[in-house]
Amino acid sequence: MHLTGAEIVIECLKEQGVDTVFGYPGGAILNVYDALYKHSDEIRHILTSHEQGAAHAADGYARATGKVGVCFATSGPGATNLVTGIATAYMDSIPVVAITCNVGVSLLGKDSFQEIDIAGITMPITKHNYIVKDVSKLAETIRKAFRIAQTGRPGPVLIDIPKDVTGNKTEYKPVKIEPVLPMDPQDICQKDVDTAVAMISKAKRPYIFVGGGAVLSGASGELMEFVNKVDAPVTDSLMGKGAFPGTDSRYTGMLGMHGTKTSNYGVSECDLLIVIGARFSDRVTGNTKKFAKNAKILQFDIDAAEMNKNVLITDGVVGDLKEVLKRVNEKLEQQSHPDWMKKIQEYKEKYPLTYHTDVLTGPFVVEEIYKQTNGDAIIVTEVGQHQMWAAQFYQYTNPRTFLTSGGLGTMGYGLGASLGAKMGCPDKLVVNIAGDGCFRMNMNEIATAVRHQIPVIQVVINNHVLGMVRQWQNLFYEQRYSATVLNDAVDFVKLAEAMGAKGIRVTTQEEFKEAFAEAVKMNAPVVIDCQIDSDDKVWPMVAPGAAISEAFDENDISHS
């Protein structure tokens, strides 16, 4: 077949099984959109309100489905508006292919209208990127991009295509795309597996720490078998939610700055910390010199670069987690640690997560969402206090049901991501939980939800401040609330209605119960504005620079 570059882009997307693309057109990418028009029955295009929303939607689609998310943008500001979304995906190892178009090859490097070196800009935040100046190399490049995005540790790839390349013609031959397989099991060092088994067998007080890699590798079944064999308590990172069921008796809650006291104390007292697909983020470790200071550290990870990067480990196994856990499970004999498990259970009983139950609060909202969805929704969040409450008070029992920006901490991520998640998983209820500060950043995507009839429920935890920053100002900056008070006249209910969605304001627990139940029944875009106190805080907390064993809460402050 003799096709234009634009037609080749669409044919290659079809090869990869792409059914949805998120984007925003412009002059440089017009040829691609013209080709897409002819295939609108095969690939659905979601026109977002802003390119950043398209990047986050592609990311949310990928996280919810495990497939590659795809977004389009035109040259110049269209391309640069994708950057935050690409960086978000990069930090959390999410497979996204971003396709941008640029000015013609002869105009590159001449400061042409809407020209930007997007490949240069995104080099540090992509697994790889390309600028394709020869149409005969376009199909091969797109296929490589999808393979790279999915191979090994996933991540985003960008392809930039000059406009004349999208118009030029070349011979195109369809290719049957083979599924991307995990790392070759032969690459896993058996000696390292044997060392790991020996370390686990000698441990008296093991603790298992689960990160996002366990979600990405689809290792939940192997992880459950491993936990049962080791007989150890389990904690997780923000990205690891759902890989191990939050309802299991061995689960002790999140680890780190806003982790539970049980997890923080337990990890600080264990003699072996088994780290499964986590990268020792500073929000998890606190003071790295004091992190798990009584323990040997055994790390399983697909990326050798993560070994000894942030925390010095004792030993590790490099490989796809699903296969690593299979190997370890085959070799490991049943362990038993009744005294250690009893001690951790006592911690759980002594240090439960609590909140003020007499008024409408963020934790109440999250718990009520959990009850009404029976724990079976996809929960998406923005970044801040509401994000921590969603991690603490919703019990995730399956992977790919908690979507949040962990590494980059992107305010404005959640609404776009929730649209992508709903497009990828139309049979699942999708709820985006936001703070009012975050919601303001990309609330224009409510118009996208209405335009394309994407029934997401947007819950705004509205405290009229930038809550997490205010919490730090309250605790560490002598209550100097510099630029964190949002005391203006913005009305989210009217705003939702102006964009064609249903808007509901609630101020009490009962009103929220009724509003959320109504939103579920409506099966349409709904915004619920939840008015809470400006000084509600996320507890427990670890002060910056402190050890996680120094976690404190409201009771500790009142007694000090």
Per residue in 50-97, pLDDT (tens digit) is 999 999 999 999 999 999 999 999 999 999 999 999 999 999 999 999
How would you classify the pairing of strands 2-4 and 169-171? antiparallel
Strand order in the sheet with 206-210: 251-254, 234-236, 206-210, 272-276, 296-301, 315-318
The predicted-structure confidence for 513-522, as pLDDT tens digits, reads as follows: 999 999 999 9
The predicted-structure confidence for 498-537, as pLDDT tens digits, reads as follows: 999 999 999 999 999 999 999 999 999 999 999 999 999 9
- Quote the pLDDT of residue 176: 94
- Quote the pLDDT of residue 274: 98
Average pLDDT over residues 540-546: 96
Residues with Cβ within 8 Å of residue 184, at least 6 apart in sequence: none
C-beta separation of 275 from 267 below 8 A:
no
Q: Is the pLDDT of residue 559 over 80?
A: no
Average pLDDT over residues 134-151: 98
Same fold, 185-350 and 362-544: yes
Task: Look up tokens 């009520």; give the residue.
Answer: 368
Cα 501 to Cα 443: distance, rounded to the nearest angstrom: 12
DSSP 171-220: E----PPPPPPPSPGGGS-HHHHHHHHHHHHH-SSEEEEE-HHHHHTT-H
Question: What is the second-level CATH architecture of the domain 2-171?
Answer: 3-Layer(aba) Sandwich (3.40)
The per-residue pLDDT of the chain, averaged, comes to 97
Active site residues: 51, 113-114, 163, 468
The topology (CATH level 3) of 362-544 is Rossmann fold (3.40.50)
Q: Quick one: 185-350 is in which CATH superfamily?
A: TPP-binding domain (3.40.50.1220)
- Quote the pLDDT of residue 185: 76
For the chain, the structural domain boundaries read 2-171, 185-350, 362-544
Q: Is the pLDDT of residue 279 over 80?
A: yes
Kindly indicate the confidence band of residue 560, based on its pLDDT and cuts at 50, 70 and 90. Answer: low
